C-alpha cells in the first residue's frame, strides 16, 4: 500500500516537472530563435508621434525592441545620442522603426500638406489659438474666411464702437504649422477598421500661411498687430449673402 502511494507521488512530481520544462522551453523558443539571427536593439515607435516633435520630447513615445538583424533597417537608431535639437520630419506611426532620415533640423521641416501659391498672390503668416481656427481643424488646401475685430475705429461715424467684419473671403491656406502635442493620437479599438475620433481639446497655437493679394495681405498684417482675428472654414461654394457687412452691438439681435 505504502509503495503504491510513493509511486503515485513520484508520478505526480514527474508530471509537474515535465510541465514546467515544457512551458519554460516554449517561452524561451522565441528568444532562442532571435539569438540565432544576430539580434539588435532598435528604437521602435510605441505611440503616434506628430511631425515637428523635438528629440528631447520623443523618448516617451519610443520603446527599445530586440529584432533579428535581417529585419533591422540600415539607418535604424538604437538610441538618441547626438541628435539633440532635431525634430521629426513626418508623423510617426506605432510599430515602425525609428530611422535617421525621420529626424531633421527644424529649419528643414516642411509643413505637411503645403500647397503651391497661385500666380500673382503673395503669402503672409499669422498665429492664432485653436478656438479662433475652427477648433484647429484647418489644413493646407482649405479656404477660409477672415474676420477682423476692432475695439474702436471701425466706423467713421462711431469711432468708439466695437466692430466685426468678415473682411477677406475664401482665402487659400497654403500651410499650417502646429505646436507638437504631448498626447498621442487616439487609436482604433480592437477589431475596428475605422479611425478613432479625437475628442480631446486642441492645445498650442497654430501658425497659418495664406495666399492673398497685396491689399488683403496688408489688412491681415494690420489685424494681427492691432486688432483680433477669427477664422471660418469658407469653401469656394459657400454662399455669400452680402451680409452681415460690419457687425456692431445693435446688429447682433437683428
Mean pLDDT of the chain: 80
Question: Residue 176: which of 56, 35, 50, 21 has the closest Cα?
Answer: 50
Q: What percent of the chain stands above pLDDT 90?
A: 35
pLDDT by residue (tens digit) across 42-65? Answer: 999 998 887 778 899 999 999 999
Q: How far apart are CA 124 and CA 207, in angstroms?
A: 10
* 173 Cβ neighbours under 8 A, 6+ residues apart: 115, 138, 139, 140, 141, 142, 143, 144, 208, 209, 210
Highest mean pLDDT among 9-13, 74-78, 158-162, 247-251: 74-78
pLDDT by residue (tens digit) across 140-153? Answer: 889 999 999 998 87
Q: Which domains does the chain have, with CATH numbers?
A: 40-108 (3.90.1210.10), 122-252 (no CATH)
Q: What is the mean pLDDT of residues 165-181?
A: 85
Amino acid at each position: 500500500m505504502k509503495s503504491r502511494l510513493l509511486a503515485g507521488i513520484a508520478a505526480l512530481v514527474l508530471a509537474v516537472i515535465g510541465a514546467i520544462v515544457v512551458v519554460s522551453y516554449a517561452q524561451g523558443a522565441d528568444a532562442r530563435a532571435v539569438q540565432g539571427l544576430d539580434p539588435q536593439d532598435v528604437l521602435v515607435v510605441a505611440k503616434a508621434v506628430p511631425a515637428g516633435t523635438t528629440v528631447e520630447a520623443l523618448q516617451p513615445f519610443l520603446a527599445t525592441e530586440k529584432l533579428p538583424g535581417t529585419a533591422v533597417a540600415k539607418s535604424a537608431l538604437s538610441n538618441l545620442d547626438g541628435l539633440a535639437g532635431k525634430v521629426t520630419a513626418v508623423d510617426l506611426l506605432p510599430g515602425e522603426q525609428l530611422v535617421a532620415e525621420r529626424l531633421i533640423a527644424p529649419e528643414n521641416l516642411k509643413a505637411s500638406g503645403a500647397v503651391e501659391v497661385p500666380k500673382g498672390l503673395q503669402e503672409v503668416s499669422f498665429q492664432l489659438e485653436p478656438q479662433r481656427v475652427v477648433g484647429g481643424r484647418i489644413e493646407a488646401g482649405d479656404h477660409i474666411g477672415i474676420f477682423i475685430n476692432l475695439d474702436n475705429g471701425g466706423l467713421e461715424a462711431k469711432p468708439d464702437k466695437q466692430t466685426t467684419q468678415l473682411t477677406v473671403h475664401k482665402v487659400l491656406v497654403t500651410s499650417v504649422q502646429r505646436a507638437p502635442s504631448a498626447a498621442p493620437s487616439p487609436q482604433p479599438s480592437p477589431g475596428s477598421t475605422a479611425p478613432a475620433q479625437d475628442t480631446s481639446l486642441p492645445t498650442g497655437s497654430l501658425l497659418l500661411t495664406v495666399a492673398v493679394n497685396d491689399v488683403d495681405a496688408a489688412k491681415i498684417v494690420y489685424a494681427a498687430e492691432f486688432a483680433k482675428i477669427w477664422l471660418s472654414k469658407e469653401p469656394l461654394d459657400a454662399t455669400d449673402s452680402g451680409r452681415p457687412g460690419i457687425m456692431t452691438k445693435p446688429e447682433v439681435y437683428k
